[in-house]
Amino acid sequence: MDIVSVNNLDFSYQKGSPILRQLSLDVPENSIYGFLGRNGAGKSTTIRTLLGLLAPQAGTIHLFDEVLDRLNRGVLRRIGALIEAPSLYPNLSAKDHLRLACRYQQVEETRIPQVLDQVGLLHAQNKLSKHYSTGMKQRLGLAMALLHEPDLLILDEPTNGLDPQGISDIRKLLQQLQQEGKTILLSSHLLSEIEKMATHVGIIRDGALIFEGDQGALRNWKAEQQQLVVRTSAPGQAATLFPASQIIAKEQDLLRLSGVSPQEVPELIRKLVAAGVDIYEIAFQQSDLEQLFIELNQQEA
Amino acid sequence: MSNTTRRHSLPLFRSEIIKLKRSPVWYLLALCTLLTATGVFMGHLLDAHNVVKLNIDPWERYFDATLAIFNLFIVVPYTVLLVSALIFIEQRANAWKYLYTLPYRGGQFYITKWLTMVFLYLCSIAILMCGVVLSAYLLNTFRPEYEFNYYQPDVRYLLSEMRHFFLASLGLISWQYWLSLRFKNILVPLGIGVFGFVLGIIMSVTGQKLALYLPYSLPMIVRDFDMFRNEYIQESAIPGLSNVEMHSLVIALFFLLLGYWQEQRRQVS
């Protein structure tokens, strides 16, 4: 079952300058969905439409199989959200913020110490938020989103401003929440972070989704895209031994080939040796998500 | 409105009260009441030989002096500052993007904040009334010739006068609130408020008919303390309400409904 289902979403602030173009995405239940895109690609706008902050000009949004619109906002009760920098009142402490959120979400205040402990802010609960570091503010924002134990967490750049330890803590927390059955949709520009924790990935470019799939689909795609790099004394001569469609690049002492499976490598080596080509090095070069992300963007461009 | 959302109105109001913790709103409230009470107190303390009249109830005179100061110097700037301070709390926290992701309608936040403003305004009136009575007794310890102890304060009269101020201020509260949400920079509505205050005084002093339609002058002219006589003020079709109060209520209702309608459709970018 898809917890979030977006179909053909169009959004623009001004006529003729679309921000989202026929965007469709599906977030499966109990997944960590990493939403990737460059700055200005439309990630935050998508998230804002999902939360009812912006009304799309066309398309539909289903959350938990319910249509989200201006008149049906009850479904937002099942969602916890953190959009970029959290909204914090400088005159209030962490505890006050959570008391506030308890009123809004109709949650008992006994939940406050639990959630503060969960994000590691128990020791600073009485400190005013204006004295918090960026990372602490981010944690408090996360605590407010988690307070009512939502089924779906929507987080826009949740690790912004966190140090490596903080990022690792948040990653562990999100993974733990997923194990508890929650669904998490998070956008991030830290692609390595998405790669480490996301079960599903969506990549947005210029307001349209250009890739969506689980880690398996991503791995297949990456396998298809992996290159065999052959360092040789005569790349020109070596290139004549393979079909032109397989050759990606021919450099000074390098030959880059695509569409070669690991099983085909011994035969390839025999062919090169038989032709009298010296082989200095042979290796697969796999794109990481960052590389993949750039490649996808380049392909679309 | 669904049952779920209606059920949530009281928690929303409680949340508004939590937000006021350590906020400048309380200082503003204290300052408003202190300034008024202290102004009247000092005037009576320093000018006793002109004010004291033997065998005449001093309370009514004392109350009228308080209300005159309140309606001319305090009520409009106080209301403008109170509204701005409450909006500033949300703007400084960039809170709209959090609030509007909650399972409430935008209009509910609008109405709740308006109710909070009205509640605070009522609080300040109540505190002012207590302060005025207490300051009179304090004055009596320095100037026993006033004879405050020999007469009972007519609190019902004070309440009745405050009711007129309250009703005449509702239009200003709603207008200034609506205006404050239209600008991201709080200084713009504040500036308009200051301009309106000056314009209100001019309209009131010169007895212009336009004063009856200007939210800033309505609290100034609603009661006549031998300052602003306006020949256009008369009873409205509703007994007990003057046309000034009626205009204030109409303005209040108009901007409340307009704001509610706009907030329901608000896009938070």
Q: Is A183 exposed, middle or buried (0-12, 13-18, 19+ CB in 10 A)?
A: buried
- % of chain A at pLDDT higher than 70: 93
Split at pLDDT 50, 70, 90, the class of B30 is: confident
> Would you state the pLDDT for residue A115?
95
> Would you state the pLDDT for residue B42?
87
Residue A100 contacts B, CB cutoff 8 Å? yes
> Would you state the pLDDT for residue A300?
53
Query: B-chain residues within 8 Å CB-CB of A63?
Result: none
ipTM of the complex: 0.85
Which domain-ending residue is among A186, A213, A240? A213
Cβ <8 Å between A87 and B94: yes
Q: Given a cut of 70, is residue B115 above it in pLDDT?
A: yes
Distance in angstroms (rounded) separating the CA atoms of residues B160 and B129 = 12
Residue B93 contacts A, CB cutoff 8 Å? yes
Query: Does A40 share its domain with A90?
Result: yes
Which domain-ending residue is among A213, A246, A263? A213
Q: Given a cut of 90, is residue B197 above it in pLDDT?
A: yes
Q: Name which of A55, A87, A106 is nearest B267 (Cβ-Cβ).
A: A55
The CATH code of the domain that includes A18 is: 3.40.50.300
Average pLDDT over residues B94-102: 91
Of A163 and B190, which is predicted with more confidence? B190
The answer to whether the CB of A239 falls within 8 A of the CB of A247 is: yes
Closest CA to B66 of B128, B118, B122: B128
Of A91 and B5, which is predicted with more confidence? A91
**Residue A220 domain-assigned (yes or no):** no
Residue A107 contacts B, CB cutoff 8 Å? no
What is the residue-averaged pLDDT of chain A? 87
**Residue A246 domain-assigned (yes or no):** yes
Q: What is the tens place of the pLDDT at every residue in A119-141?
A: 989 999 999 999 998 889 999 99
> Would you state the pLDDT for residue A14?
86
Nearest residue of B to residue A90, measured between CA atoms = B93
Q: Name which of A54, A74, A100 is nearest B269 (Cβ-Cβ).
A: A54
Nearest residue of A to residue B101, measured between CA atoms = A51
Distance from CA of B268 to the nearest CA of A (A): 5
What lies within 8 Å, CB to CB, of B10 at 6+ separation is none
Best B9, B101, B260 member to test A by mutation, with max A CBs in 10 Å, is: B101
> Would you state the pLDDT for residue A291?
65
Q: Given a cut of 80, is residue A10 above it in pLDDT?
A: yes
Query: B-chain residues within 8 Å CB-CB of A48?
Result: 97, 268-269
> Would you state the pLDDT for residue A294?
66
Query: Does A133 share its domain with A253?
Result: no
Residue A265 contacts B, CB cutoff 8 Å? no
User: Position of tokens 């401003």?
Assistant: A161
**Residue A102 domain-assigned (yes or no):** yes
The CATH code of the domain that includes A270 is: 3.30.70
Query: Does A99 share its domain with A236?
Result: no
What is the residue-averaged pLDDT of chain B? 87
Cβ <8 Å between A73 and B264: no
Query: B-chain residues within 8 Å CB-CB of A12?
Result: none
Average pLDDT over residues B123-134: 90
For the CA atoms of B17, B20, B21, B26, the dihedral, rounded to the nearest 10 degrees, stands at -120
Q: Given a cut of 80, is residue B194 above it in pLDDT?
A: yes
Query: Does A150 share its domain with A61?
Result: yes
Q: Given a cut of 90, is residue B47 above it in pLDDT?
A: no
Distance in angstroms (rounded) separating the CA atoms of residues A281 and A88 = 56
**Residue A300 domain-assigned (yes or no):** no
Q: What is the tens place of the pLDDT at every residue in A25-69?
A: 999 999 999 998 888 889 999 999 999 999 999 999 999 999 987
Q: Given a cut of 50, is residue B3 above it in pLDDT?
A: no
**Residue A175 domain-assigned (yes or no):** yes
The answer to whether the CB of B77 falls within 8 A of the CB of B169 is: no
Cβ <8 Å between B92 and A90: yes
Nearest residue of A to residue B90, measured between CA atoms = A89
Q: What is the tens place of the pLDDT at every residue in A264-284?
A: 889 889 988 998 888 999 988
Q: Given a cut of 60, is residue A301 above it in pLDDT?
A: no
Best A43, A73, A185 member to test B by mutation, with max B CBs in 10 Å, is: A73
* Domains contained in chain A, number: 2
Residue A63 contacts B, CB cutoff 8 Å? no
Query: B-chain residues within 8 Å CB-CB of A85?
Result: 94
Query: Does A154 share its domain with A240?
Result: no
Reported pTM: 0.83
Buried (b) or exposed (e) across B13-29, using 16+ Cβ within 10 A? Answer: bebbebbbeebebeebb
- What is residue A187's three-state secondary structure? strand
Best B90, B102, B264 member to test A by mutation, with max A CBs in 10 Å, is: B102
> Would you state the pLDDT for residue A195?
81
Distance in angstroms (rounded) separating the CA atoms of residues B204 and B228 = 6
Nearest residue of A to residue B88, measured between CA atoms = A89
Average pLDDT over residues B182-196: 92
**Residue A298 domain-assigned (yes or no):** no
Query: Does A178 share its domain with A258?
Result: no
Q: Given a cut of 70, is residue B118 above it in pLDDT?
A: yes
Query: Does A127 share its domain with A167?
Result: yes
Query: Does A18 share its domain with A154?
Result: yes
DSSP state of A288: -
Query: Does A123 share its domain with A204?
Result: yes
Q: What is the tens place of the pLDDT at every residue in B213-240?
A: 999 999 988 887 666 666 777 887 888 8
Query: Does A203 share its domain with A251?
Result: no
φ/ψ bin of A125: left (φ > 0), alpha (ψ from -120 to 50), beta (otherwise): alpha
Split at pLDDT 50, 70, 90, the class of B2 is: very low
Which domain-ending residue is among A213, A238, A265? A213
Query: Does A270 share its domain with A130?
Result: no
Query: Does A128 share its domain with A274?
Result: no
Domain range for A22 is 2-213
**Residue A279 domain-assigned (yes or no):** yes
Residue A127 contacts B, CB cutoff 8 Å? no
Q: Are strands A200-205 and A32-37 parallel, antiparallel or unpaired?
A: parallel
